Amino acid sequence: LINPDFEPLFDMDEKATPVLFADEFNHASEMVQKAFFEVALDKQIGGRKFGKKAMVILAGNREIDDCNVVPLEKPMQSRLIHFYTYFDFRTFFEHAQFGGQFHPLVLSFLKLRPDYAYKPTSQAVDYYGECLPRTWEFVSNALRTFSKGRREKMVAGALGPGAAHVF
């Protein structure tokens, strides 16, 4: 996971707030999750305590998201503060527009059809593409990178055939 000599977590000045961010935490095996108890609960690694202001943030999907997560054990669940985030089109669109990474065609389409910005699908469907912020970024990259024939296939693979047809 982390080298115990990773100084920023331990020896920061009082103004800084070092953050240890473990993304997709609930995709880790039970063994890895158990090993992380010391980090998440005691804010230490190998007996070496983090600085006073250090934060540990674990991120992952909910079980109902259909993402094959490894459920957190009750002792870990009860020692965390749980936050749930939700998609907000305005925030996403501002990021897409001003971050400079989204292709103008994607921005134009999403402005006309914001209902396509976030449409997660069930795993029960027979294809894998879906409309999510990350797949719109994939589409933007495909529009810049591939020839027209390949772009259409990339867009369908990223968004799914129905959304790609509308796009």
Q: Which amino acid is at 96?
A: A
pLDDT the model gives residue 122: 61
pLDDT the model gives residue 10: 60
Contact 160/130 with Cβ under 8 angstroms?
A: yes
pLDDT the model gives residue 95: 92
| Regions of the chain with pLDDT less than 70 | 1-14, 122-127
pLDDT the model gives residue 135: 94
pLDDT the model gives residue 123: 57
Distance between start and end Cα atoms, the chain:
41
Phi, psi of 20 (to 5 degrees): -100, 110
Query: pTM for the complete prediction?
Result: 0.72
Neighbour tally for 86: CB within 10 Å: 5
Contact 139/167 with Cβ under 8 angstroms?
A: yes
Q: How far apart are CA 35 and CA 103, in angstroms?
A: 42
Q: How far apart are CA 76 and CA 82, in angstroms?
A: 11
